[in-house]
Amino acid sequence: MKIFSPIINMTSAIADLFFPPVCVSCGTHLFKQEVEICQMCIRRLPRTNFEKQPHENKMSLLMWGRCHVEQAYSLFYYKKGERVQRLLHEIKYRRNMDLGKELGRQLGKVIQQAKPGEYDCVIPIPLHPKKLRQRGFNQAELIADGLAEVLSIPMDISSVKRSVHTESQTRKGRFERWQNVENIFQVSETNLLNGKHVLLVDDVITTGSTMEACINTIRQVDGAQVSMATIACAVL
Ligand SMILES: [Zn+2]
């Protein structure tokens, strides 16, 4: 395979010459070290700064009385029709996998500064296998991949499974959403999560029902702790 990599590099260099990569958010040309999104956009998007108080912020407060969360992180506030929503759509519906991983890296940098060495593994919220087949990829896994790279910890996609295919959550109220997801996750490899601090990852948190169900499932494992991280947070 190695023999092809100079050819691939040369092809992508030629492609860059004729179609220089541009920022998915503002359309300006990217610098060499930038991937899919420019630094200016990252700075201009509405940051939550939750990492300054990872134990107590709007995202962790959302989960109070529902499940025990150690720390909660999210890069940006999410509003319908605004830039952050468009970025997440770019990943989920336009299959921009490089952007997913890059936003995961950006999230990882923030967490690394706030709590270096705190977490043992990264787990993306799993999709049901049927949904995974339909979509072809799990957007949470792309984000978790970038996050794991920056934090230098493994990504675990085998210990937690989603066994129930749920209907779309968007038209449901909070209680209905919770009922809909209450028992949809199972831990298949309890020994891998014993005494571990898991960083659970999704693209966006809205009501927190899916996170809640997954956190409560993981916390049934002896000594397991869970923190959560998302790219966007719809809680204002
Ligand atoms: Zn930009």
**Long-range CB contacts for residues 43-46, cutoff 8 Å, separation at least 24:** 45/75, 45/76, 45/83, 45/84, 45/87, 46/76, 46/77, 46/79, 46/82, 46/84
Cβ atoms of residues 91 and 135 within 8 Å: no
Give residue 46 CA to ligand 1 midpoint distance, Å.
14
Structure confidence by residue, pLDDT tens digits, 163-190: 876 655 556 666 666 556 778 999 998 9
Q: Residue 131 C-alpha to ligand 1 middle, in angstroms?
A: 31
Q: Ligand 1 centre and the CA of 103: distance in Å? A: 13
Q: Going by CATH, does the domain composed of 45-233 fall within 3.40.50.2300?
A: no
Identify which has the larger pLDDT, 195 or 169.
195
Could you tell me the distance, in angstroms and rounded to a whole number, from the CA of residue 181 to the centre of ligand 1?
A: 36
Distance 25 CA to ligand 1 centre (A): 5
- Rounded-to-integer distance, Cα 44 and Cα 73, Å: 18
CA of 11 to the centre of ligand 1 (A): 25
Can you give the three-state secondary structure of 6-53, one letter per residue? HHHHHHHHHHHHHCCCECCCCCCECCCCCCCCCHHHHHHCCECCHHHC
pLDDT digits (tens, 9 = 90+) for 63-121: 999 999 999 999 999 988 889 999 999 999 999 999 999 999 999 999 999 999 999 99
- 198-235 pLDDT tens trace: 999 999 999 999 999 999 999 999 999 999 999 999 98
Cα 117 to ligand 1 centroid, rounded to whole Å:
31
What's the gap in Å between 52 CA and the centre of ligand 1? 25
Q: Ligand 1 mean position to 20 CA, how many Å?
A: 14
pTM for the model:
0.87
Say how many Å lie between the CA of residue 16 and the centre of ligand 1.
17
> 36 C-alpha to center of ligand 1: Å?
9
CATH 3.40.50.2020 in the chain, residue ranges: 45-233
